[in-house]
Amino acid sequence: MKIHSGRAIDRRTLETFLTYACLQKESDIQAWIKYRYEPDTAFTAYEGEQLIGLMQCRMVPMQFGRHRVQAAQIVDAAVHPDFRQQAVFSHLLDQVMIWADANALCTLVLTNQPFLYRSHRFEPYGQTITYWLEKPDRPLYTCETRTNADIFSLYEYFISCFDGSIRLPKEAFTRQIHYQRGQIFVSRYDHEIDGAAFCHADEHTIQIEPAFYTDSSALMNLVGHAFEQRPAVSLTVGEDERIERFLTVKQARRKDTCLIHLNTASLFEPVFKQPIHHAEELKTLLKAPAWNYWI
């Protein structure tokens, strides 16, 4: 097995690999290739000429107070089913961490399988929670359904309420919107956008993930609009958003875990005036909760 970085993969090989490794629909595969695949920061594993593993990474800006730093993000990872349980993932992660340690202050990943990263000293940094909701009992103001909307300024306001978080530049934010697909619910108050929710619907249910909003009224308005479309609505948010304070919850369950690897403790000194060795130590120094769930 050989590990490569920055090696472009021809489209047919990539499509075949993703079909077997991820069991995705054709439309999902094409969207991933168009909006998530970045050859320069893709790490690949080959057995002979066969692609057997892929770990897609990227560099992202991360804000700590007034300081903006470079962080590495593991976007996605997959291993061909015929080569699982053969340390392919671990070998890929070894090479990714060598690259990340040389280029970034820390490394982040959002995953529903956090155990895969424990041996490489990743630590919990946050959690998403999916809530199944009751319909809000309140009048709604203007809300509309869109396939696209200029909501970058809303995102910037929303993310500025948090600390220790990735802040996507506009180009990366736009790519994320295109990759997300689905519908966007946009809430307006006095003609100004005050909320946006990314929604996927089936016959009976609308799933909202994520939502950006200026205040609780905007989020309640988005949820109320979703209930006008379907009888059941779920909302996935970060654990520190505490939406149960103003929305009635029927059921809640933990979903994905945000993990962080602090690449070099001494590099945190210019930001916090001290080295940082562990995620819990970092979180106690933040001026607000972190939000890293749309990455």
Distance CA 295, CA 107 (A): 12
Query: What pLDDT, on the 0 to 100 scale, is given for residue 138?
Result: 76
- Contact indicator for 262, 278 with CB cutoff of 8 Å: yes
SS3 260: strand
Could you tell me where the beta strands, DSSP code E, fall in 153-286?
Answer: 165-166, 183-189, 192-201, 205-213, 232-238, 249-262
pLDDT tens-digit series, residues 9-50 = 999 999 999 999 987 789 999 999 999 999 999 999 999 999
Question: What separation in angstroms does the CA of 99 have from each of 6, 59, 73, 90, 186?
Answer: 11, 11, 11, 14, 39
What are the structure tokens assigned to 278, written together?
């562990």
Query: What pLDDT, on the 0 to 100 scale, is given for residue 24?
Result: 79
**Counting Cβ atoms within 10 Å, is residue 208 exposed (0-12), middle (13-18) or buried (19+)?**
buried
Query: What pLDDT, on the 0 to 100 scale, is given for residue 215?
Result: 94
Q: What are phi and psi of 230, to 5 degrees?
A: -140, 155
Report residues of the chain scoring pLDDT below 50. none
- Contact indicator for 261, 125 with CB cutoff of 8 Å: no
H or E stretch at 125: strand 123-133
Block residue for tokens 């629909």: 25
